Amino acid sequence: MKCLIAIAMAATVLLFPHGRAVAFLPPPADPGGSPMLPASATNVNERYTVEDVSIRNWRGILSRGLEREMRRLIGRPLRTRSIEIIQSHIEYEFPGYSVARRLEKGDRPDFVRVYFDLERKRRRIDFRSPRVLYSSAQQFSFGVDTNLNLPRFQASAGYLTDNDERVERFEGFRGHLHYDLPTERRLRIGVRGSTYAVRWNPVLAAEDQRYQSHNTVEPFVEVQVRPGLDLQTGFRFHQLEMLSPAFLGNPAAGGNVGSRNLSANSFFTTLRYTKRWLSDSPGATTLDAGYDLRAASSSFGSDFGYQRHSGSATLTWRNADLPQNGLMLASSLQYGYIQGQAPLFDRFVAGNSRFLRGWNRFDFAPTGGSRFAHLSLDGRYRYLRLSYDTGTLWDPARPKVLRHSAGIGLTLYGWTAMLAFPLRSGPIEPVLLVGMNF
Amino acid sequence: MSLHALAGKSAKFLLLPCLALGALAAAGVLAPAYLDGALAPRLEGFRFLEGKQLERLRSGQSVAYDFSLQLTEGPRLVQRSLERFVISYDLWEENFAVVQLNTAAPNPRAAVAHLKLEAVGEWCLQHLRVPIAATDRRRELQLTLEVRSVPGKLPNPLRSQGSVDLANLVEIFSRPAAAGEYRMVTRSLPFRIGATAAEAVRP
C-alpha cells in the first residue's frame, strides 16, 4: 500500500511540473473507438494526437525555447491555439520568412503531423530605403539600396546622404557582398565598402581634422556563437582625404607629417545578443544588446591610434500587434568610450534622431564627444508615440552636462512624425522629426 | 403583320427570358422559404468551398466564413442576419465539419461532422434565418445572400473558442473584399411573404 502511495506521489510530482499532466493522457474516446472532439473545438482535427512537429525548408539550428515548445506538443491532443502560438514564435525567430502551417496524416491512425513551411519574403531583387529622415535641425537624410537576394548569397549597392549619424554630412555610394557558408551554425563571410564625399557645417571649429572624402573597405566574418548570439569580426581599411595637410603621429617617424591622405585602419569586433520572451498572447518582450570595439593601431598601417568601445541594450515590451490595439514600451541604454585620438567620423554624436532627440547637436557638441552615456524611454499606444531621452556627451577636457528631452508624435504605416523638445530652462526650440526607423 | 410573323416574334420574346430562367435554375437561384415565422434561404447546389480556402482546409486548418442574409424592400434594409461558420476538414475521415458560432454565448450554436463537400453549403443555409414577424406580408421584397471568407490574418475569431463579436461581423460586411478573400453575392427574385407563407402551408 505504501509502495502504491509512493508511486502515486512520484507520478503526481513528475506529471504536474507545469500543471499540464492532463496533456500526457490519451485523448478521450467515444464508445465507437475514435477520439472525441472537445466541445469548444472549431477544428475537427483537434480530436487527433500530434505525432510530430517540424519546420520544413530549414536546416539550421533553432532556439532552445522553440525546440522545447515544439517537442512539448508531441504526444498531446492537437490544439489549434497551441499551433498558432508556435507559428507566431517561428515568425519571430525568422523575421525574413513567411510561415505557413500544414497538418498531414501521421503514420499511426488518429495521429497527425504538424509542419511549418518557411518561405523567404524577400524578392530576388528588391529596393529598400533604410534611411528616410527629415529633421528641422539637420535637414534631410536619405538612403536607398538595391539588393540581390540569392540562396546563401546577398549583394547590395546603394546611395546615402546623411547628416544625422555623424558630425559631418556624408554622401555617396556603398555596397556589400556576403555569403553564408553551408555549415550547421551560421557562418558568413563578406565585405562592405563605401565611398563618401563630406560636407561640413560652418559652425564646426576643428578645421585641421576635416576631410573631404573617405573610402572604406571592410572584410568580415560573422558567426552565430549560439542562438541569439552573433559575433562579427574583421578589418576596416579607411582612407581619408584631408582638407588640409594633417600633422598626426610622431613627426620623427615621418610618413604622415603634413600628409593629405591618411589611413584609419582598424580591427573591429561586434557582439550582438537578442532574446525574446514570448507569451500566449501576440505580445512579447525583447532584449537586444550589443558591444562594439574598434581598435586602430599603427600595426595595421593606421595614422590614427585609438580604441572605440560602445555598447547598447534595449528592452522592448509590447502587449499585442501594433497598431490595432497595441501598447509598446521600450527602454534603451547606450554608452561609449574612446581612448586615443579618433577621426571625427568615429566620435559619438547626440542631439540627432536617436540620442537626445529635440536638442540640436550644433548647439552643444558640434564635433561630438569621446565619452557618451544615454538612456531613452519610448512608449507607443496605437498611433501615439511618446519619448524621453536623457544623456551626456563629453570629452576629458569638457565637463559632463546631463541633458533631457521629450517628444510626442504620431506613427502610421511605419512613418513617424515627432515634435521633440529639449527640457531646459530658457527658450525651447522644438525639433520636428519625420521619417522611418528612428 | 401576318399572324405567323407575330407568333414568331412572340416566341422569340418569350424564349429569351425562359432560357435565362432555365440557366439560372440550373446554376441555382436563391429562393426564400417560409419556416417557423422566419425566412430561410434555399439555393440548389450551393457550394462555396473553393480555391485557397479549400487548400487551407485540406491542409488541416479551419477556415471561417461569414454569411449575411438580408431582406430588402427596394433599397431599404428590412431585416438582416449575420452568422459565422467555421469549417474544418477531417484529415483521417476525409470529410468536413462545420461549427456555427454563437453571437451571444461562448458555446457554438450548432455543429456537424462527416459532411461531404457538396453538403456543406446546404447545411450552412439550413442554419440561416431572417425573422419576419413585423414585416408587411403584402410588400415586394428581395432576399440577398452574401458569403465571405475570413482572412487568416484578421484577429482570430476562434480565440474565444466558439463566440463571435457581432460588431466585428458588421464591420467585415461593410468593407470591400481583400485580395484572395472569397466573396459571393446572390439575390432572389422579388417576392411577397404572404405568397411564400401560403406555399409553405400548402400540402
Residue A42 contacts B, CB cutoff 8 Å: yes
Mean pLDDT of B159-185: 64
Residue at grid coordinates 557558408: A181
List all residues of chain B from 30 to 49 with a beta carbon under 8 Å from chain A: none
List all residues of chain B from 49 to 108 with a beta carbon under 8 Å from chain A: 59-62, 86, 88-92, 96-97, 99, 101, 106-108
Structure-block grid coordinates of residue A33:
473507438
Residue B26 has pLDDT above 70, yes or no: no
Reference A145, options A213, A192, A182, A189; nearest CA is A192
For A105, the closest of B92, B108, B113 (CB atoms) is B92
Residue B153 contacts A, CB cutoff 8 Å: no
Report pLDDT digits (tens) over B53-103. Answer: 999 999 999 999 989 999 998 888 888 888 889 999 999 999 999 988 876
Least confident of A277-286, A297-306, B122-131, B156-165: B156-165
Pick the residue of A43, A73, A99, A114 with the most B CBs within 10 A to test the interface with B by mutation.
A43
Residue A256 has pLDDT above 70, yes or no: no
Least confident of A227-236, A288-297, A387-396, B101-110: B101-110
Beta carbons of A98 and A121 less than 8 angstroms apart? yes
Strands (DSSP E) contained in A57-186 are 97-105, 111-120, 125-135, 139-150, 153-162, 169-181
Q: How confident is the model at residue A124 (pLDDT cuts 50, 70, 90)?
A: confident
Residue A33 contacts B, CB cutoff 8 Å: no
Contact A42 B162 (CB under 8 A): yes
Name the β-bridge partners of A107.
none
Size of interface A-B (CB pairs under 8 A): 62
Least confident of A52-61, A118-127, A246-255, A404-413: A246-255
Residue B105 has pLDDT above 70, yes or no: no
Strands (DSSP E) contained in A297-397 are 306-318, 327-340, 371-381, 384-394
pLDDT at B2: 45
Average confidence score pLDDT of chain A: 83
Residue A319 contacts B, CB cutoff 8 Å: no
The DSSP annotation for A276-311 comes to EEE-SSS-EEEEEEEEEEEEE-GGGT-S--EEEEEE
Mean pLDDT of A398-423: 91
Residue A397 contacts B, CB cutoff 8 Å: no
Mean pLDDT of A413-427: 89
Q: How confident is the model at residue A193 (pLDDT cuts 50, 70, 90)?
A: very high
Report the C-alpha gap between A21 and A12 in whole angstroms. 8
Cβ count within 10 A of residue B178: 12
Label residues A172-191 b or e (16+ Cβ within 10 Å = b).
Answer: bebebebebeeeeeeebebe
pLDDT at B156: 40
pLDDT at A114: 95
Mean pLDDT of A205-221: 87
Beta carbons of B182 and B50 less than 8 angstroms apart? yes
Least confident of A180-194, A255-269, B76-90: A255-269
Structure-block grid coordinates of residue A279:
507569451
Beta carbons of A135 and A352 less than 8 angstroms apart? yes
Mean pLDDT of A239-258: 65
For A42, the closest of B59, B155, B158 (CB atoms) is B158
Chain A residues in contact with B102 (beta carbon < 8 A): none
Report the C-alpha gap between B142 and B59 in whole angstroms. 38
Residue A259 contacts B, CB cutoff 8 Å: no
Chain A residues in contact with B86 (beta carbon < 8 A): 42-43
Reference A51, options A115, A99, A117; nearest CA is A115
